[in-house]
Chains A and B, each alone.
Chain A
Amino acid sequence: MKIIHTDEITRNIKEMCIEANFQLSPDMEKAIKEALEDEKSKLGKQILKQLEENMEIAKEENIPICQDTGMAIVFFKMGQEVRLEGGFLEEAINEGIRQGYQEGFLRKSVVGDPLLRENTKDNTPGIIHYEIIPGENIEITVAPKGFGSENMSRIYMLKPADGIEGVKKAVLETVKMAGPNACPPIVVGVGIGGSFEKAAFLAKKALTRNLNEHSSIEHIKDLEQELLKEINTLGIGPGGLGGKNTALGVKVETYPTHIAGLPVAINICCHVNRHISRSI
């Protein structure tokens, strides 16, 4: 059994919120640079050049890559052998977000009530997904999510008879409807199966995967590659102004589902796909 103090969780979350907003993970940076090399459209190349330059300026001058520093999404995997000491876990996580967004000069983008819409002024609460895992470590992923892309996400409750073709149709339709709005080139997270909310969660989880990591399930790996190829024939391109590189990656997560159901959730992320993971 390992004892972990919630102050340590707060500190780590704070650091991760800040780190995520100034530098993209190496797979994302590489993908943007490769898209620039590979792009055929003149406008597309110009836009990708600006995005590459933007990443450099963000790193060098300590300015967030994008002004939408997002709502903090936290995947909190607690080892079953861990015992927590200190304050209440949820408050410790939110305190980490609060400190991170304050000390990191990040934007306060959360409203307390979705209808009354008064800014909470500290970017809390975050959205926390808890999971219990074996062992005595805590694994945390912080994935600030911007809402330009989030707003272009969709869920389809397909019929089993719609099959894989129905899934592909739903993904392509979602990407087409998004067009320029999600700041292409995008990353697409797809959740298939589970229930209404599980599919959506899977789609968000899919976005935190390394771009170079394919599904370990053979037919899902094929689906990921086919979807990426088909999306990139749409011609939407960087900034939605025409080009080859509409998507940098498609990641699919699946889960068992009901005999009458085929839920498909498509979570769109822009090219500022931020996620940092640590183990405590």
Chain B
Amino acid sequence: MWIKVHKRRQNVDRYIKTPLTEEITRELQAGDYVYITGVIYTARDAAHKRLYESIKEGEKSPLSLENNVIYYLGPTPERKGQVIGSAGPTTSSRMDKYTPLLLEQGLKGMIGKGKRSPEVINAIMINNSVYFAAVGGAGALLSKKIKSSKVVAYDDLGTEAIRELYVEDFPVIVIIDSLGNNLYETAVEDYLNKGV
């Protein structure tokens, strides 16, 4: 179904700006540390279901997906003076069902944590997109990289609403690149074989 390609080069740190074009995604390799600056959008279970259904029904989607990045996040409520509450990633596999369709619509980057299904990996390769992981559980630390937040769709969903975030140097690691390399597989193998 898909072919695994071995590492082409040493992993590097990269500083990238959204929108995430194919020029950028093709350059990223599984294992690269990436610092993202620009606008990203939050969506998780409930918002994905609505987006998916609205696309399937040919309705106008409240979010343009072309060259955008979705962050799988449901934050805690912010206190006065805070931009956003605790803001770490949720488990991506719950969004697997909806993801291939969103990638077809032009979504170029996803930030979450945990494994993706073969169908999603395939769709990532076909659409030249990228899957990043942010450190699971680092909600307080990650919230500091978010400079503004506003709800842009599905307000009734509370924490699950679609938010437009402006982030600066948001730290993520490339897990699945556009060639289908999967860091969750190679990193564990590398550790067991070489103890790196």
Chain B contacts with A in 34-80, Cβ cutoff 8 A: 46, 73-79
List residues of chain A with CB within 8 A of the CB of B190.
242
Contact (Cβ within 8 A) B76 A107? yes
Contact (Cβ within 8 A) A235 B192? yes
A63-B140, A235-B191, A241-B187 are contacts. A51–B135 as well, Cβ < 8 Å?
yes
Number of interface residues of B (CB under 8 A): 45
* Cβ distance A258 to chain B, nearest Cβ, rounded Å: 35
Contact (Cβ within 8 A) B76 A51? no
* Cβ-based interface call for A61 (8 A): yes
* Cβ-based interface call for A64 (8 A): yes
A57-B144, A242-B187 are contacts. A41–B139 as well, Cβ < 8 Å?
no
Q: How far is the CA of A148 from the CA of B77 in the complex (A)?
A: 19
A62-B79, A67-B88 are contacts. A121–B140 as well, Cβ < 8 Å?
no
Name B74's contact: one of A58, A109, A271 (CB within 8 Å): A109
Q: How far is the CA of A63 from the CA of B143 in the complex (A)?
A: 9
- Which partner residue on chain A sits nearest B76 by CB separation? A107
List residues of chain B with CB within 8 A of the CB of A65.
86, 137, 139-140
The A interface is mostly helix, strand or loop, or mixed, namely: loop
CB within 8 Å: A-B pair count: 148
Counting contact residues on chain A (CB < 8 A from B), the size range is 35 or more
Name A54's contact: one of B78, B141, B183, B189 (CB within 8 Å): B141
* Cβ-based interface call for B129 (8 A): no
A107-B76, A180-B113, A242-B196 are contacts. A66–B191 as well, Cβ < 8 Å?
no
* Cβ-based interface call for A117 (8 A): yes
- Which partner residue on chain B sits nearest A241 by CB separation? B187
Q: How far is the CA of A148 from the CA of B45 in the complex (A)?
A: 13
Contact (Cβ within 8 A) A108 B159? yes
* Cβ-based interface call for B28 (8 A): no
List residues of chain A with CB within 8 A of the CB of B195.
40-41
Q: How far is the CA of A47 from the CA of B91 in the complex (A)?
A: 17
* Cβ-based interface call for B188 (8 A): yes
* Cβ-based interface call for A158 (8 A): no
A40-B195, A239-B135 are contacts. A106–B76 as well, Cβ < 8 Å?
yes
List residues of chain B with CB within 8 A of the CB of A257.
none
**Per-residue interface assignment for chain A, residues 138 to 165, with 1 indicating a CB less than 8 Å from any chain B CB and 0 otherwise:** 0000000000100100000000000000
